[in-house]
Structure 1
Amino acid sequence: MNRILSQDEIDALLSSVSKGKSYETIEREQRKSVSVYDFKHPDRISKEQIRTMRTIHENFARLFATFLSTNLRALVDVNVISIDQVTYSEYTMSLSMPSSLYLLRMSDLEGKAVVEISPQFLLFCVDRLLGGTGETEVEIREITLIEQNIVQRIINNLISTLNEVWSQIYPLNAAYDSFETDPQFVQIARSSETIAIIFFEIKVRGAVYPMNIGFPYFLLEPILQKLSTQTFFVNVKKVAEEERKFLEERIQSSKIDFQTIFAETTLSVREFLSLKAGDIIQLEKPLDDEMLIKVAGRLKFFGVPGRSGRKMAIKITRPISFEEELAYER
């Protein structure tokens, strides 16, 4: 049976005659504009909000990598791999056994976040923190209570760094809540609830370890409107300006070591051992020569000695040039 065309289809067909398009071509173009939508896994967080979350956690990865490199005495690289939205049941099923799951509570938001770190990486951290060489190939096993206490400083920094980068959008005020090794005992959301997962990779000494941070949708829902690119960059600029003023004030009120070198000479070990009270040491410096002035251990000025009231003083005559600084440091 031939179907009856609607008025819109008739108008589109008539307009296409002048452009040389057939009815079949119009139908194909309409099919192309249709996109597949999965009602079982709806994207409840927009692409723009995902981009903002990626920027936030890239900053987190950079700061956390710096901390790890310093404390583990090894070059550590942390990268954001992807951000996905899945149901909580799918997330827990994807976790390995045993796992290292840290639950974080938020003071002003309802719900908890979860951080999953490779047990192998935590065992590597334990070995390095205790002075070991840090074997990257270790057997996967549960983290003991003693080992949890050893790596707790790393977890505390992870949480504080997470709070720092999120403060540009919203103060999470995340804090350590509990530790679990079995994903079945971690019930921070309903099985059908959507959870946003930020996947990381930790690279150290040729080995790659996984890490991820999960935020249930209901936890992020009150602050989703703040996760816009425009809001993020406005807040970053505001924070940067406040930090600049704070640093200027701190620097100006800081105290630095100021030293004046009157003269220097060289003695042999025999001459040094034979020194006694009343000996005169001849210095290799003319009386009218300028003295070196060090600021925080670095040569910065030349000066001449004098008096200011009843106290000895030094008058700065000129700043030291870059070439002179290099010559004296040699």
Structure 2
Amino acid sequence: MSENPRQPVLEPEEIAALMEKIAPNEQAQAIFATLPPIPQPEHVEAFSYESEGPEGPERYPLYAVIQQHLCEHLREHMNDTFQRTITLDLDGMTQAPYEELITSEDSRVYLVFDCEGFGLMLVIVDTRLVVTYVDALLGGNGEAHNGMDELSPVEERLAVRFANALKGMLEEAWKPIHPIKFKLIKVETDVDFLGVASVRESCFKTTYQIKLCKDVQGNLNICYPRTYLEPILNELRNSAQEAPASMDEAWSRDLLNCLQDAPVELRLEMGTVPMLVRDFLTLKPGDHLPIYKREIDPVTLWVESEPMFQVMAGQRDGSLAAEIVAIKKTGGKS
């Protein structure tokens, strides 16, 4: 074996030329390779980026106001129908896929409404609530009885009465915020014939818990597909303080009555006299001030600081008086 040291295959000049052609990233890798290893933690948890879904009903204050208004209308209507105090509370507002809303093993009645410019929305009512409601319409006491998990033909027809009453309550609840006209399309018990939205479409659901008597209680769910609400979501995002308040007629009458009893000062102005300060300082009893107005010219009657009427000055029953001949400035409601 030869003891001569092994010679490189490439000449030094060739090696230098190759090193000059190394890309910057390869140079960086070579530099990092010379560094000591970086200590790693013993336990590393996986990190995943979560995409934020569409905003739920809690982000829209005026939507919550509408649902509270509907709760009040429902409670009042139920109390009148059953002639007793009914327990009815708003049990929550959530967002869920349409498929989840219509999937249930409980017996339920589905009311489909169409709203011009918005599309279809859905109301889901437990069947036992509808049966008890119909019983009260027919003169019953609205108590529990057998066969409450399905509707008879008569109950199906009378369920339309409940749907129409609910239509009016929905319109009243929306009226102060954004008036919407609801039209009843169908009353169904089979979810396969609803066709309100696609199965994955996100919906706002408001649940009302209703207790009609000791043995009859259930839920009423108001469901709006997000595409239904899309045109007015920005409007619903406003705070509740920005909601247009409805006029309180009784309060307005009381305020008007109080204002009518308030004292007011009237002042008759016969005319004005322009004068220099030096002439004013020389005024004394017996001097006459020229008022450039004829006897037949009307003068101004002031109410507080506002010129309100043109009047003719004169006498009546031996006293000075003023006859109103024209209105210079109209006030508020007379």
* TM-score clears 0.5: yes
* TM-fit CA distance, 1:245: 8.2
* TM-fit CA distance, 1:76: 1.3
Q: In the alignment, residue 96 of structure 2 is paired with which amino acid?
A: V
Is the contact between residue 103 and residue 114 of structure 1 (CA under 8 Å) also seen in structure 2? yes
CA distance in 1, matches of 2:204, 2:220: 14
* TM-fit CA distance, 1:140: 3.8
Is the contact between residue 78 and residue 203 of structure 1 (CA under 8 Å) also seen in structure 2? yes
CA distance in 1, matches of 2:39, 2:224: 50
For the pair 1:199 / 2:204, whether they are aligned, the reply is no
Q: In the alignment, what sits opposite 1:70?
A: 80
For the pair 1:213 / 2:222, whether they are aligned, the reply is yes
CA distance in 2, matches of 1:63, 1:198: 15
Q: How does 1:136-215 map to 2 (within 5 A)?
A: 136-206=144-214, 207-215=216-224
What are structure 2's unaligned runs of at least 5 residues? Answer: 1-36, 258-334
CA distance in 1, matches of 2:160, 2:57: 34
Within the candidate set 81, 96, 106, 1:86 is matched to 96
SS state at 1:176 partner: strand
For the pair 1:47 / 2:58, whether they are aligned, the reply is yes
* TM-fit CA distance, 1:227: 0.8
Q: In the alignment, what sits opposite 2:242?
A: 234
Is the contact between residue 72 and residue 128 of structure 1 (CA under 8 Å) also seen in structure 2? yes
Is the contact between residue 48 and residue 229 of structure 1 (CA under 8 Å) also seen in structure 2? no
SS state at 1:44 partner: coil
Cα deviations across residues 57-115 of structure 1 (Å, max 9, x unaligned)? 1221111111111122122122111111111122222x345420000000121x20000
Q: In the alignment, what sits opposite 1:131?
A: 139
For the pair 1:114 / 2:119, whether they are aligned, the reply is no
For the pair 1:57 / 2:75, whether they are aligned, the reply is no
Q: In the alignment, residue 154 of structure 1 is paired with which amino acid?
A: F
* TM-fit CA distance, 1:119: 0.8
Is the contact between residue 74 and residue 204 of structure 1 (CA under 8 Å) also seen in structure 2? no
Q: In the alignment, residue 213 of structure 1 is paired with which amino acid?
A: I
For the pair 1:244 / 2:254, whether they are aligned, the reply is no
CA distance in 2, matches of 1:187, 1:223: 22
Is the contact between residue 107 and residue 173 of structure 1 (CA under 8 Å) also seen in structure 2? yes
Cα RMSD after superposing both structures? 3.3
Seq. identity, %: 20
Q: In the alignment, what sits opposite 2:108?
A: 99
Q: In the alignment, residue 87 of structure 1 is paired with which amino acid?
A: P
Alignment CA distance shift 1:46-1:143 (3 Å):
closer
CA distance in 2, matches of 1:58, 1:79: 9
Bigger helix share:
1
Is the contact between residue 108 and residue 173 of structure 1 (CA under 8 Å) also seen in structure 2? no
CA distance in 1, matches of 2:133, 2:172: 23
State the structure with more CA Rg. Answer: 2
Cα deviations across residues 22-41 of structure 1 (Å, max 9, x unaligned)? x9xxxxxxx9xx998466xx
Q: In the alignment, what sits opposite 2:10?
A: none
SS state at 1:184 partner: helix
Name the TM-score, length of structure 1 as normaliser: 0.58
What are structure 1's unaligned runs of at least 5 residues? Answer: 5-22, 24-30, 253-330
CA distance in 2, matches of 1:137, 1:35: 53
* TM-fit CA distance, 1:174: 1.1
CA distance in 2, matches of 1:46, 1:68: 26
What is the aligned residue count?
218
